[in-house]
């Protein structure tokens, strides 16, 4: 039997039943990577010798009667996580030789759960793109169409999963970096509630690996099934043992409902800043129809929904204020000059990006206060609804575009060009208020490309969108492997 595209849950059962060994799973995964990854370029830092050793250890542990959540299961890790003995570069050329001495907290949790780490997956330069390419490791291609991006910044992880390179992966998300690659490659991902999973060691190579509270970014799981997301989230979730973990333990509440008929769902497919392409709109409608057929209460509008235009402006300002925090003084002064020239009436996303780049601390505090109002608005909405279904980006995977100035790039939506970074607004719907969001496959475009949607849930009720994802997987299907010649 070929195991490469089986779920982690199925592999765990097979390992427990003695149908297969971890060594066999690991050897099969490595053989597939060596055969197929030349065309995809998902695995940028292989670690096969240590993976085989870990697989042997896992088999011996199982023979002794041990049974850990991921014991013997091959996985991959986004390049941006520290792994002792492997480079962590974030695709930044001057750090190509940076070698951390300690594992990131999430890598430690993977290993403690028994996972076999095959290697690291590719990322964009500094994790700051919707594609995954850099000077050190090159370009990761979409397994469904090598002329298109796999997404970013967890694009290598999504491409690896779609190609059968390991059963699980861990990534991170600030601007859809888990959800967009999942959508582009036809796999699953979950952006946890802000602060749910410790992030220490998922850090740029020039920065100490300290426990910090990130403003927008999270770390999270990627998989080929909804149940596997929950399996991996249970391993990842919990406070850093150096800080809140000293005094706190985590207990996630159960999903609000176990059957589709109990769910109350708000479905969105329009954003004030950018149109939704026909292929993505069809995916949203496919999910909405499945919800209705399953007995869920589905609405298309609600006065409780926080203002999406203001939310997009806030998200853009908060994100870009942190993105330029380490810019040289000269560059910052140039940005201040440009921002001062903006018209007070200019409410475009370009203007929001520029204003965010030159935020003073007082500006950030004011924006954060507005964010708290949005968070409260979401609490009120989730008293009436259990989840929100909406796009992740307006289109399926787009062709590679490596123009060195992203401001000159454009995204084609049904034949009309739009500013490249404007497509991030859908990701910001969940990111800005810190809500959990699960990316699920929702069919194919007319060209055969994967299309996904996101299921947004209430803060710290991550099991609710994950359970909804599982129920939708049962009704409309989930991951499908690309054809062999596509990979």
Count of CB atoms within 10 A of residue 374's CB? 18
- Tokens 């970074």 label which residue? 421
Q: Is the CB of residue 58 less than 8 Å from the CB of residue 25?
A: no
CA distances (Å), 161 to each of 60, 227, 299, 447, in order? 27, 15, 33, 21
Catalytic residue among 108, 172, 177, 321: 177
Report residue 220: phi and psi, to 5°: -165, 175
| Rg over CA atoms, the chain | 21
78 carries an active-site annotation: yes
**Two structure tokens written together for 190:** 């979950």
Catalytic residue among 132, 153, 154, 225: 153
38 carries an active-site annotation: no
What string of DSSP letters covers 49-113?
Answer: HHHHHHHHHHHHHHHTT---TTTT-EEEEETTB--TTS---TT-GGGTT---SS--HHHHHHHHT
* HSE-up of residue 152 (Cα within 13 Å, Cβ side): 29
What string of DSSP letters covers 449-478?
Answer: -EEEEEEE--TT-THHHHHHHHHHHHHH--
120 carries an active-site annotation: no
Report the DSSP beta bridge partners of residue 271.
Answer: 274
Q: From 411, 5, 31, select the one nearest 184 (Cα to Cα).
A: 411
Catalytic residue among 4, 22, 78, 120: 78
Determine the 3-state secondary structure of 145 from DSSP.
strand
Q: ∠ CA(25), CA(28), CA(31), 5° rounding? A: 150
Kindly list the catalytic residues.
78, 153, 177
């Amino acid at each position: 039997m070929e195991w490469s595209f089986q779920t982690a849950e199925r592999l765990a059962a097979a390992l427990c039943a003695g149908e297969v060994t971890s060594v066999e799973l690991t050897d099969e995964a490595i053989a597939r990577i060596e055969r197929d990854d030349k065309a995809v370029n998902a695995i940028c830092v292989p670690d096969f010798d240590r993976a085989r050793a870990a697989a042997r250890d896992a088999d011996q542990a199982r023979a002794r009667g041990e049974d850990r959540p991921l014991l013997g299961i091959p996985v991959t890790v986004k390049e941006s996580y520290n792994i002792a003995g492997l480079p962590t570069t974030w695709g930044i050329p001057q750090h190509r030789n940076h070698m951390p001495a300690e594992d990131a907290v999430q890598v430690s949790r993977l290993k403690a759960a028994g996972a076999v780490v095959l290697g690291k997956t590719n990322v964009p330069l500094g994790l700051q793109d919707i594609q995954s390419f850099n000077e050190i490791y090159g370009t990761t291609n979409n397994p469904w169409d090598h002329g298109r991006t796999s997404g970013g910044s967890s694009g290598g992880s999504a491409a690896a999963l779609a190609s059968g390179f390991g059963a699980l992966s861990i990534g991170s998300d600030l601007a859809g970096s888990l959800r967009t690659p999942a959508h582009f490659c036809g796999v699953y991902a979950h952006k946890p509630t802000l602060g749910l999973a410790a992030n220490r060691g998922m850090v740029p190579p020039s920065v100490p690996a300290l426990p910090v509270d990130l403003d927008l970014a999270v770390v999270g799981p990627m998989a080929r099934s909804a149940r596997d997301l929950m399996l991996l989230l249970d391993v990842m979730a919990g406070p850093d043992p150096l800080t809140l973990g000293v005094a706190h333990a985590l207990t996630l509440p159960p999903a609000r409902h176990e059957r589709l008929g109990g769910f109350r769902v708000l479905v969105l497919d329009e954003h004030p800043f950018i149109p939704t392409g026909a292929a993505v709109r069809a995916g949203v409608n496919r999910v909405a129809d499945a919800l209705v057929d399953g007995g869920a209460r589905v609405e298309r509008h609600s006065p409780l929904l926080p203002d999406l235009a203001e939310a997009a402006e806030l998200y853009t300002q908060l994100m870009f204020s942190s993105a330029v925090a380490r810019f040289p003084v000269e560059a910052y002064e140039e940005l201040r000059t440009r921002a001062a020239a903006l018209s007070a009436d200019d409410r475009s996303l370009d203007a929001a990006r520029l204003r965010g780049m030159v935020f003073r601390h007082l500006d950030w505090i004011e924006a954060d206060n507005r964010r708290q109002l949005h968070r409260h608005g979401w609490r009120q909405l989730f008293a009436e609804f259990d989840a929100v279904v909406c796009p992740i980006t307006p289109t399926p995977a787009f062709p590679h575009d490596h123009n060195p100035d992203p401001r000159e790039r454009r995204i084609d939506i049904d034949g009309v060009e739009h500013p490249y970074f404007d497509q991030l607004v859908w990701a910001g719907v969940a990111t800005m208020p810190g809500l959990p969001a699960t990316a699920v496959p929702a069919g194919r475009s007319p060209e055969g490309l994967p299309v996904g949607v996101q299921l947004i849930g209430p803060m710290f009720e991550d099991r609710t969108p994950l359970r909804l994802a599982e129920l939708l997987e049962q009704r409309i299907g989930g991951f499908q492997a690309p054809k062999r010649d596509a990979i």
